[in-house]
Amino acid sequence: MNIYFMRHGETEWNKEQRIQGSTDIPLNQNGIDLAQKTSDLLYQNNISFDLIYTSPLIRAAKTAEIMNCHSSARIIHEERIKEFVFGEAEGITYTELRTNPKFCNLKNWFLNPIEYKDELGAESFNHFFSRIESFLESLKELEKEQQSIAQENQIKNILIVCHGGVVRGLLKVMTNCSVQEFAKTKIPNCGINLATLNNGKFKIEYTARIFSEI
């Protein structure tokens, strides 16, 4: 089973370098165009999807809708892959995050995650990684179910449309890397990551591939 997972298209808050988290910000026109070009080029590379999971936040859900234009797959809105909740920091710029003493701890999420502590309404790492792990366990269960289904009816390609923090979380859990490594990964808008799932084991094939630049 192939598990493709990606960050949504660009939003105005991405462009302004603001922290989005759980705030429901729509795609801007560039984000829509980026998702469409990514969808078209994946299709030209013979990649289509049998099932799509998306975060219910509008920037991800709209990206999933666009990514499905060549597939007609069932789309499932999945709460467990919503973006990390950044609490009172949502809406501020990354510059303010680094310079405002109020957020001196929260900036560790990005710069030194081993020292991060949840405060100001932000989510804990324990809760965040627990929901990521729970979601990935459900994919393993799906893989088991597929083994009893006729080959021609099996789900072979799954797409997960989510967020930068969630892509990092998926990579961390799949590879069992440290929290400190987790924050170093660069996650571009509409960057495509691919993992295979075989007998309950994930293997990363590539990360952050930009099909819109092919």
Do residues 89 and 57 lie in contact, with contact meaning Cβ atoms separated by under 8 Å? no
**Residue 11, beta-bridge partner list:** 27
**Residue 198, beta-bridge partner list:** 201
Specify the 3-state DSSP secondary structure of 88.
Answer: helix
Whole-number percent of the chain with pLDDT over 70: 100
Specify the 3-state DSSP secondary structure of 52.
Answer: strand
pLDDT by residue (tens digit) across 131-154? 999 999 999 999 999 988 888 889
Q: If you average pLDDT over every residue of the chain, what do you get?
A: 96
User: Is residue 182 scored above 90 in pLDDT?
Assistant: no
Q: Which residues of 148-182 are buried (b: 16+ CB within 10 A; e: fewer)?
A: eeeeeeebebbbbbbbbbbbbbbbbbbeeeeeeeb
User: Is residue 214 scored above 70 in pLDDT?
Assistant: no
Q: No. of H helices and E strands in the chain?
A: 8, 6
Q: What is the pTM of this model?
A: 0.96
**Residue 3, beta-bridge partner list:** 158, 195
